[in-house]
Amino acid sequence: MSNRQVITILGATGSIGLSTLDVLARHPRHWQIHALSANTDVEGMLELCRQHRPRHAVMASTEAADRLEKALREEGLETLVDAGTQALEAIASAPEVDVVMAAIVGAAGLLPTLAAARSGKRVLLANKEALVMAGNLFMQTVEDHGATLLPIDSEHNAIFQCMPPGYTCGQEPAGVSRILLTASGGPFRERAPETLRQVTPEEACAHPNWDMGRKISVDSATMMNKGLELIEACWLFHATPDRIEVVIHPQSVIHSMVAYADGSVLAQLGNPDMRTPIAHALAWPERIESGVSPLDLVGVGRLDFMPPDPERFPCLRLAEEAARAGGSASTVLNAANEVAVQAFLDRQIAFTDIPRLIEAVMERMPVIEVDHLDRVLQVDREARERAGAWVQRMGRQPA
C-alpha cells in the first residue's frame, strides 16, 4: 500500500477490535493508530496502549478513564485519556484520521459512527446495530458527506466483493437479481425445539464456527443476527427484503453470494476468520496479508445448503417483518433485542423469551418515520423502557 493511513478503532478491546489490531500489527509501516476506545475494560486497554501506543484512549466512564490514566502514567506512557460519547465522537472525526473501525457493539456505537460518516472518513462498519437502528439516517449521512462505507460483517463484506466492479455501498447494483445471505444456523440448528427453553448463556455463546463477543453470539443462536444482517443488507446494497434469501450453510465457508440476471452466481469463500474481511476493507481496493490460514477445500470436503426453520427461529421472522414494515420498526426491533439479550445473559429471562419480548414490544409501538436523530433516539428509548418493563413483569428473579 502506498500512503500511511491514520486509524481510530472504536471498540478496540472486543473481538473485532483485537482482530483489527492483529492485522494492523502485520503492516506497521502502513498504519498509525490515532485512538482506541473501550467500555470498562481498563486492564485490556492498558495492555493495548503498551503494545500499540495510541495517541488517545477513550473509556465509556470517567471512573474507568481515571483508573486507566493513573496506570498509564505509572508506566510512563503518554497516551491521552478521555471519557464519554463526545470524546468518542472527537476521535472518530479528528481531522488527522483517515479510517475509522466502528466495532462498538450495539446502539452505543451509533453516535461515534455517525460522527465518522459526517466527517467523510473511510468507515469500516462492524457495528450492524447502528445501521439497523438508523439505516436511513446513516446512509444519508454517508452520501451527504462523501464518506466511504465498507462492510466488515463477513456476509456483507462477501457480498460487496461479489458486486459489479466500481460498486459503491448504497447504490442499486446493476444486473443483480438476488442476494444469497448465508447463515451457519448457530449452535442450535439441530437441537430439539422443546429443549430450547433450558438453554444457558454459556451454551448460547459457544458458536460452532466463529469466536465472537457475547451479544452477537446470542444473536447467532436465536438467528436474530441473520435478521439484523438482512436489514443491514437492505441498506448497504439498496435492496428490498424479497431480493434477499437466507440460506443455511453449516460449514461457514461461503460467506454469501450474489446472483445476476444472466444466471451467474458469485460467491466469496474463505476460512471463518474475521481478519479476512477486516484486511479486505483496510486495504481496499488493494489486497494485503491477513494472517488467515489458506482455505483447504479438500479438508472441508463438502458444502451443504438448506432453508432456515421459521418455527425454531422466530427472531428471523420478526426481523423480516421489521424489514418489510420499514421506518421505526427496525429501531424498535434492535432496542428490544438488545434489552432481551442482556436480560437473558443476566439469567432474568429464558432463551425462548427473547422473541416473545421483542414481539410484545413491536406489537405495542406504531411504525413511524425516523429520518432525524432525535426521533431515532426517542423510539430507541421508548422501546427499551417497554422491553425493561416486560422483563420486570415476565422475567424470573436474577440467580
* Residues of this chain that bind ligand NAD (CB under 6 A): 11-17, 38-39, 41, 60, 103-105, 108, 126-129, 153, 210, 212-213, 215-216, 274
As a whole number of angstroms, the distance between CA 388 and CA 8 comes to 33
As a whole number of angstroms, the distance between CA 125 and CA 156 comes to 10
Round to the nearest angstrom and report the end-to-end CA distance of the chain: 53
Work out whether 89 is an interface residue with Mg ion (CB under 5 A): no
Cell numbers representing residue 45 in the block: 486497554
Considering only the stretches 80-88, 104-112, 154-162, 166-174, report the one whose residues sit in contact with Mg ion under the rule CB under 5 A. 154-162
Q: Which does 11 bind (CB under 5 to 8 A by kind): Mg ion, ligand NAD, none?
A: ligand NAD
Q: Which does 16 bind (CB under 5 to 8 A by kind): Mg ion, ligand NAD, none?
A: ligand NAD
Work out whether 273 is an interface residue with Mg ion (CB under 5 A): no
Work out whether 153 is an interface residue with Mg ion (CB under 5 A): yes
- Residue 174 Cβ vs ligand NAD, minimum distance, rounded to whole Å: 27
- Closer to ligand NAD by Cβ: residue 141 or 334: 334
As a whole number of angstroms, the distance between CA 146 and CA 350 comes to 44
Neighbouring CB atoms inside 10 A of 134's CB total: 30
- Residue 214 Cβ vs ligand NAD, minimum distance, rounded to whole Å: 6
Q: Which of residues 176-205 bind Mg ion (CB under 5 A)?
A: none
Q: Which does 39 bind (CB under 5 to 8 A by kind): Mg ion, ligand NAD, none?
A: ligand NAD
Query: Strand runs (DSSP E) across 92-146, as ranges?
Result: 99-102, 122-125
Three-state DSSP state, 128:
helix
Q: How many residues can be counted in the chain? A: 399
Nearest residue relative to ligand NAD (C-beta): 14
The rounded Cα 377 to chain-centroid distance in angstroms is 19
Nearest residue relative to Mg ion (C-beta): 153
| Pairing outcome for strands 176-183 and 254-260 | antiparallel
- Closer to Mg ion by Cβ: residue 204 or 343: 204
Nearest by Cα to 46 from 36, 60, 34, 61: 36
The site for Mg ion (CB under 5 A) is made up of 153-155
